[in-house]
Structure 1
Amino acid sequence: MKSLKTLVCSLIAVILLSCSSSTTNNQDYQNLSEAEMFELAQQIAQSTIIVDGHVDLPYRMWVDESTHQQEILNVAERTEGGDYDYPRSKEGGLDAPFMSIYIPSRYQETGGAKMLADSLIQMTKSIATTWPEKFAMAYSPQDIQNNFENGKISLPLGMENGAPIEGDIENLGYFYDQGIRYITLTHGKDNLIGDSSYDTTYIHGGLSEFGVLVIKEMNRLGIMVDISHVSDATFYDVMEISKVPVIASHSSARHFTPGFERNMDDEMIKKLGDKGGVIMINFGGNFIDQSFDEKNKNVNEHIVNWLAENDFKRSDREAKAYIEKYVEENNPFPSVEKVADHIDHVRDLAGIDHIGLGSDFDGVGDTLPTGLKDVSMYPNLIAELLKRGYSKEDIEKICYQNIFRVWNKVIAFSEAT
């Protein structure tokens, strides 16, 4: 029996056909009022599969458990704090957040990376087993499609940092069997696979010899290669070695953040597009706005000084009221328009077929843009794209079709080898 959402989606699709166009410059949308535009954006969010390439819920849950919380964080209900839970996911139309199995770089030195990865994977799977009417695991685009039709949120798995491989190529097969479907090769430090964009040592000058073997084995197994976090040299090595398109699961355009190597420059974005890949735009403030860090620093310094001068704590009622008012009047956060600027830039460089969404929700702290503060707010971004002339077909590509295409190509290559 089809879910209510599926039936509603079918009705919405009929409505949307009357104002949809296959061209990017959709004049019908431009004639809509602000309210009508947002209503259409909400309809598209609910009727279209939305895949987010990177949500850090598992590590958020693990940190909660490490403080001796007695039960698994109940993300089936609205939670205090954090960016992700089931009600907000449904409100925003998010159907498939890639759950980030995030391994901090310190585990490369202290050991235990594989053990932590196993813990986070099992914790994520426990969400699906604890609330099976709301969540389901997903190991392929078809799984996501099936779960969507049944009204469930999919939980695909991506591993952030290849450290849990621990120098043993056999562990790639182990993690594939555990459900990992992409691996971010590095994180904050160079590792056994290659060099990181955040490090300055550049031990390998790109991929290591072991890293070359890792890419080939990921291709063979059907694990997507994720080049977010890697150095430029590592990126270009991956482009030469991988036989299938790769992804940047949560990166943005360096054009707007000069000197921030964690983002991708124009030539890298073009190369990624030429090879059929997808860059999934990160929403974090310092990823999308060069001036965010300085603005945020100034606001925080003012608040700290004001608290000291008035002998207040942040938890005091008067202090909370003052801080809320001051931040509202001196908002350091970028806007949803900034995220759309990055999407425009990638479209102009590589084309509409090479853009996705990789928010980094629950991973970038209190840096998210006004209008994109949690997973309930995807319609705000869709509305902005509609204003800029993106068609429903364009938005569907950004929301899921582009990442599905890459993922299916990776699967097909694996099955053929």
Structure 2
Amino acid sequence: MLPPTAPHEDIIVVSSPGYLEKLSEQLLSQSTQRTIQAYLLWQIINEYAPSLSEEIRKPLQRLNAKLRGTNAKVTKPRWETCLDQVDLSLGFLAGRYFVLETFKRSTKARADEFVESIKESFLNRLPELEWLDEVTRDRAIEKAHGIIHKVGYPTKTPNTMSPVSLSDYYSELAIDQDDYFGNYLRSREWLIMKNWRRAGKPTDKSTWEMTPAIVNAYYNPVYQEIVFPAGILQAPFFSGEYPDYLNYGGIGAVVGHELSHAYDNNGRHFDAKGRLREWWTKETLEAFEKKTTCFVDQYSNFTMEDEDGHLINVNGKLTLGENIADNGGIRQSYVAWKKVYDKKKDSKENMLLPGLENITPEQLFFINYGRIWCGKSTKAQAKQSILTDEHSPPKWRVIGALQNSKYFADVFKCSAGSPMNPVDKCDLW
């Protein structure tokens, strides 16, 4: 399974041995050699066709449109295709120019403040949780203290703002302005070999899994870090011109979301040093599983309509980790913001928006949380998302988390037992 040129170590860690064993059994018992060859050939076609001529791309585009429920006649603009490829191949280099254009030092400083305040909110929350026993609580607090955060762009491996560092980082990648497909192949090979060379060497925790312009964020359980590229530190998630209540309702909820991932059904398996081991007591684990069942049941009752008018239920088990993170994130961000807001209500960071004076800052916090998940999709796309995505559909990410928020119910004065203020709420972090 390994490429001939890959560095071969004495020990190779297989994260999912059970899956590979069953896959091998099924392939050997149910698939002919011809079928396996056809599958491997298809994987090559599926990987490389998007970077070839329109004549080759069109059949694949029609297939993907059918599978994804999109319009086969609507093609991605050429500039967008090129931009995606540049980010894939030269993302840290391109990220330098994105950062210079869009990311101020003051933005990073303010984002750092948000992360620290939300982390403090989470640490203050842990002693309040009665379902955590003392041993597990102490370990959870130790883990929270050890989580580091990265904001904006990497300063090592490579340093996005250093032309010398970037030149050294990409020194082995040959780019030919007259050979687009060759550039694609060489960049893929370069990236794969760069990753293989890391095998067997000390962990370099300065590396980033995302480039600066990406609109996303992540939690790395092994490195014990939460990372927020410059791309997500833009409107509607964040702006230096926004009042605090909009920023906390936007990027603040994302920060809380990533922090909560350290304690969801997946992240909880990693301890304060990023080691995969069981550090919860049996009693606390049983209480955790009982509480997570509430989220599974709640989200499994949410539905989306497919293209045939049939209702499809959200998979509460598949989406559990993300739902836990959404609920924990919005709570920690709101509590952190209120602590800041109550000290400086009349400051410019909390000024009311013109024309919206009748809407309170508390309400606007939640309104902006809903706004960051606004989107549009076909019913066929929604169906595919429900079947395959570990995230709940955006609509239910908002409604699900806010149904469980006592703060939302208080702010909007939702009567007890109403859809947005159910009597029985799911509560964890």
Task: Report the TM-score range of the alignment, normalised by the length of the smaller protein.
Answer: under 0.3
The structure richer in strand per residue is: 1
TM-score by length of 2: 0.21
Q: Quick one: higher RCO (CA 8 Å, sep 6+), 1 or 2?
A: 1
Higher Cα Rg: structure 1 or 2?
A: 2
